[in-house]
Amino acid sequence: MSYYFTILSPTDTPIFNIAFGTSKGGGDGIARFRFPDTAQYMNQFIIHSSLDILEEAQWTNGGMYLKHIDTYPPASAYISAFLTPSGARFLLLHQPPQLPSSGSSSALGASSLLGSSGSTTRASSSSVAANPTSPQTEEAVRQFMSEVYESFVKTAMSPFYKQGMEIRSPVFRSKITAAGKKWL
C-alpha cells in the first residue's frame, strides 16, 4: 500500500505533502506508486479532483472524518478525507500494491519488480491493509487523521503561523511520518 497525504488550506492551497508506504506487514515505509517517478503529479491531480466531492460531502456530514469519499479506478486510488472545523482539508490517497497479473498489461504499470515485491508482502500479511475500504482500514485512517489533527492544531496555535501558510516544520513532518508508521 502506498500513501500520498496532503493538507489543503481552506483556499485550496496545498500546505503540506508527504508520500510514504505502509509499514504494516513487513512494509518498509517507502511509497511505490503505479506511476513512474516522473509522474508524481498524478497523485496531486487525483487528490485535487476529489475536492468537488468533498465539498458536497462537507455539508451533509457533520463529522470531521468523512471516511473514504472518492475512488479513481484507473489507478485504483482511494481517497479519504478529514475536515478540520476551520476548513483545512486532510486528504489521503491510498493505492494498494499492484498485482502482477492485473498490472502486466497496464500501460501505467510500474516495473515488475515493484509489483512482485508488493504482492509478496500482500500475500504474507492479512488483507486488512490492502483493502482500502474495509472497516479496519477506515479505523486506521481515522486514527492517523486524528494524530495529524493534533499536530496541526499545535501548528495553528503558533503565533508565527497564519492560516494558509505552508507548514515547513521538520518536526511536524516527522510527527506525520511517525503517525503513518504507527497506523498505516
Q: Choose, by CB under 8 A, the member of 141, 148, 151, 183 that binds another protein.
A: 151
3-state class (DSSP) for residue 62: coil
Contact 16, 180 (CB under 8 A): no
Q: If binding is defined by CB under 8 A, does position 63 make contact with another protein?
A: yes
CA 91 from centre of chain: 6
Cell numbers placing 148: 495529524
Q: If binding is defined by CB under 8 A, does position 183 make contact with another protein?
A: no
Q: Please state the closest distance from residue 161 (CB atom) to another protein, in A.
A: 4
Residues 6+ positions from 93 with CB-CB distance below 8 Å: 3, 4, 5, 6, 43, 46, 47, 77, 78, 79
Binding mask 111-150 for another protein (x = CB under 8 A): -----------------------------------x--xx
Give residues in contact with another protein (CB under 8 A). 10, 58-60, 62-64, 83-87, 146, 149-158, 160-163, 165-175, 177-178, 181
